[in-house]
Amino acid sequence: MSVEPSRDEPDRLKAAILDGSLDCVVAIDGRGRVLEFNRAAERTFGYTAEEALGAELIDLIVPPDLRERYRDELEPRLEAKQSEMRDRRFELTAIGKDGSTFPMEVTVTRVPGIDPPIFAGYIRDITDVKRTEERALKQSRAIADLAQARGELVSQLMLAEERTRQRIAQVLHDDALQRLLAAHQDLLEAGAGREGVTRAQRALEGTIERIREAVAALHPVTHQQGDLHTALSAIVRQHATRGGFRYTVRVEPEASGVQDELVLSAARELIANVAKHADASRCSVIVDRSEDRIKLEVADDGVGIPAGR
């Protein structure tokens, strides 16, 4: 046995759906006047349905200084054909009866099969969404600031390390090396041809050569003349001799003289790793500049880093 629904059941069903919605649901006619105003809309905007019915929606929920702007956005939607009304959303700044403002997302859809046309407006308060976006933006800016600060700190540490290397090189060159050279000259003058003196001379010559290499590694003399390419070549050449690899060095002209000390400090560590660990046969060093950034590339054909490390 079937039971015929009473005539007022569709109305009660519609009211239950509208009042149970968590979003604001507002029905308007082709001129933007309010025909329906559900419970969520009452809670959000502070107006009762009786107060809202018949009012122009824009005048009801939009701040006065923004009404013309949003009216210009809404009117084309009300004039559009039904097929053009699907999934069309826009954001607006809304105002409540108490004068408080908040961001809203609005979707306007034409109700099919009704003429003159009626439109359903689905309105959602996106205050929490905007706050989340603002927090995410602040966090991303904070992360960027931290990354920049870290980069600046690394640069300062590398510069400090380079200055320390310079001081050590200067001490070795101006003191220890000069003393050894003087001692070598004294031996030459004092006892040429004697076996013991000859051995001492050879030992001194070897020590002098090692100190010269150390001075060149710590702070290439060529860099003091402002030639980054020559300084890098001196560093690579020294390690290539020990590591047994061929090398090429390329420095773009615009990259030289900007952050030479940092480039040399970083290159020294990278090239030393190639000589110690890579077991490479070839190594290339490239320095170029892109806008305000200096790029250092040290590449080799060695064994690389084992997986998982």
Q: Check residue 282 and give its pLDDT.
A: 92
- Specify whether 46 is located in the same domain as 112: yes
Q: Residue for token digits 């949003």?
A: 70
pLDDT digits (tens, 9 = 90+) for 127-176: 888 888 888 888 888 888 887 877 777 777 777 776 776 667 665 665 66
Q: Check residue 48 and give its pLDDT.
A: 92
Q: Above 50 in pLDDT, residue 106?
A: yes
End residue of a domain, out of 150, 185, 219: 219
Q: Is residue 146 part of a domain?
A: yes
Confidence of residue 17 (pLDDT cuts 50, 70, 90): low
Q: Check residue 195 and give its pLDDT.
A: 63
Confidence of residue 20 (pLDDT cuts 50, 70, 90): low
User: What CATH number does the domain containing 237 carry?
Assistant: 3.30.565.10
User: What CATH number does the domain containing 21 carry?
Assistant: 3.30.450.20
End residue of a domain, out of 219, 254, 282: 219
Q: Above 60 in pLDDT, residue 304?
A: yes
- Specify whether 212 is located in the same domain as 159: yes
| Mean pLDDT of the 108-116 span | 81
Count of domains observed in the chain: 3
Token pair in block for residue 48: 């009762």
- Average pLDDT score over the chain: 77
- Specify whether 57 is located in the same domain as 121: yes
Q: Check residue 47 and give its pLDDT.
A: 93
Nearest to 49 by CA among 179, 58, 40, 211: 40
Residue 112 is part of which domain span? 9-125
pLDDT digits (tens, 9 = 90+) for 217-267: 666 544 454 578 888 888 888 888 878 899 999 998 888 876 777 788 788
Q: Check residue 283 and give its pLDDT.
A: 93
Q: Check residue 1 and give its pLDDT.
A: 40
Q: Check residue 134 and give its pLDDT.
A: 84
- Specify whether 66 is located in the same domain as 101: yes
- Specify whether 84 is located in the same domain as 15: yes
- Specify whether 75 is located in the same domain as 51: yes
Asked if 266 and 296 count as a contact pair (C-beta separation under 8 A), the reply is yes
Token pair in block for residue 152: 């600046």
Q: Check residue 263 and give its pLDDT.
A: 84
Q: Is residue 3 part of a domain?
A: no
pLDDT digits (tens, 9 = 90+) for 265-293: 788 888 888 988 888 999 999 999 887 78
Q: Check residue 83 and give its pLDDT.
A: 46
pLDDT digits (tens, 9 = 90+) for 181-213: 666 666 666 655 566 666 666 767 767 677 766
Q: Is residue 74 part of a domain?
A: yes
